Amino acid sequence: MSVSYRWVIVAVGALMSCVAIGAMFSLAIFQEPIASATGWSHVGIASAMTLNFIVMGFGGFFWGAASDRFGPRVVVMIGSVLLGLALVLASRAETLLQFQLTYGVLVGLAASAFFAPMIAATTAWFDEHRGLAVSLVSAGMGVAPMTISPFARWLISAYDWRPAMLIIGIATWVMLVPAALLVRRPPAGTADADTEFSVEGARLQLSKVFRSPQFVVLGLTFFACCAAHSGPIFHMVNYATICGIAPMAAVSIYSVEGLAGLGGRLLYGSLADRMGVKPVLVAGLLVQALALATYLFVSQLGEFYALAIVFGSAYGGVMPLYAVLAREYFGQRIIGTVLGAATMLSSLGMAFGPLIGGWIFDTFANYSWLFIGSAMVGLGAAAIALAFPPLARQKPQPAFGVAP
* Cα separations in angstroms, 216 against 197, 210, 211, 256, 404: 15, 7, 7, 33, 29
| pLDDT score at 398 | 39
> Does 8 reside within a domain?
yes
* Cα separations in angstroms, 295 against 37, 123, 257: 30, 36, 13
| pLDDT score at 163 | 93
> Does 333 reside within a domain?
yes
Provide the number of structural domains found in the chain. Answer: 1
| pLDDT score at 189 | 54
Burial class from Cβ neighbours inside 10 Å (0-12, 13-18, 19+) for residue 101 reads middle
d(CA 193, CA 204): 16
> Does 392 reside within a domain?
no
Domain that holds residue 316: 3-184+199-385
> Does 323 reside within a domain?
yes
| pLDDT score at 314 | 92
| pLDDT score at 140 | 74
In single-letter form, the type of residue at position 71 comes to G
d(CA 214, CA 385): 10
Q: Which residues contact 128 (CB under 8 A, 6 or more apart)?
A: none
Q: What is the mean pLDDT of each run of 10 residues along the chain (404 residues)?
A: 76 88 84 86 81 82 84 91 94 90 91 85 77 77 74 88 93 93 75 53 65 89 91 85 84 81 82 86 94 91 92 88 83 78 82 80 85 93 90 44 35
> Does 402 reside within a domain?
no
> Does 395 reside within a domain?
no
Q: Say if CB 14 and CB 144 are below 8 A apart.
A: no
> Does 122 reside within a domain?
yes
> Does 38 reside within a domain?
yes
| pLDDT score at 145 | 66
Q: What is the CATH number of the domain that holds 125?
A: 1.20.1250.20
